[in-house]
Amino acid sequence: MEWTGARYADRPTVEARIRIDAPPARVWELVSDIHLMPRLSTELQSVRWLDQVTAPAVGARFVGRSRHESLGEWETTSYVVRCEKDQVFAWAVSDPELPSAVWRFTLDVTDAGTELTQWMQMGPGRSGLSFAIDRMPDKEQKIVFVRLREFERSMAGTVDAIRKMAEDAEGTGA
């Protein structure tokens, strides 16, 4: 990731992409399983569906509990905003109309299987990062850049772990 000088209000984004030697249906099983995600993340500690929901669907809600060395511990409610089987799974954090972040997995069919992209956007709603920016407004661009780099590293690890699980399930992984 290159320095862009982005501010939080710019709704900066980051993504990680990987090719997976497995069909989209297998990859979908993994990316749409919210209970798998804490195993793939050092920050996300746990998740649970709300309202007796057991599977993703537009409008479904889930609570995620996270921990970060610099930001502490927090809990957020996320709302599924797109859920197209074998194609797109996306959720908005805190408020679907004014989210603190939007996260999305996109699956595209390729000759070899699936191209998986994990994408996220900061804002436009306030988040824990907003409090750090409030305390140090002169460092906003650096705060945003450092957080985007953290997301980029984490997302690269997530899509690679999904690749390994999907390919192992297909009998093609090492």
Report the CATH number that the domain containing residue 120 is assigned in CATH. 3.30.530.20
Q: Is residue 1 part of a domain?
A: no
Q: Is residue 66 part of a domain?
A: yes
**Interhelix angle for 140-169 vs 24-31, to 10°?**
130
Q: Is residue 101 part of a domain?
A: yes
CA-nearest of 17, 14, 15, 19 to 164 is 19
pTM of the complete model: 0.92
Mapping DSSP onto H, E and C, the string for 92-107 reads: EECCCCCCCEEEEEEE
Higher pLDDT, 3 or 139: 139
Domain that holds residue 70: 8-169
The model's pLDDT over 153-169, given as tens digits with 9 standing for 90+, comes to 999 999 999 999 999 97
Q: Is residue 174 part of a domain?
A: no
Two tokens at 145?
Answer: 């850049």
Residue 174 has pLDDT above 80, yes or no: no
Q: Is residue 3 part of a domain?
A: no
Residue 62 has pLDDT above 70, yes or no: yes
pLDDT of amino acid 69 = 87
Residue 173 has pLDDT above 80, yes or no: no
Q: Is residue 102 part of a domain?
A: yes
Tally of CA atoms within 13 A in the half-sphere of 117 that contains its CB: 13
Total domains in the chain come to: 1
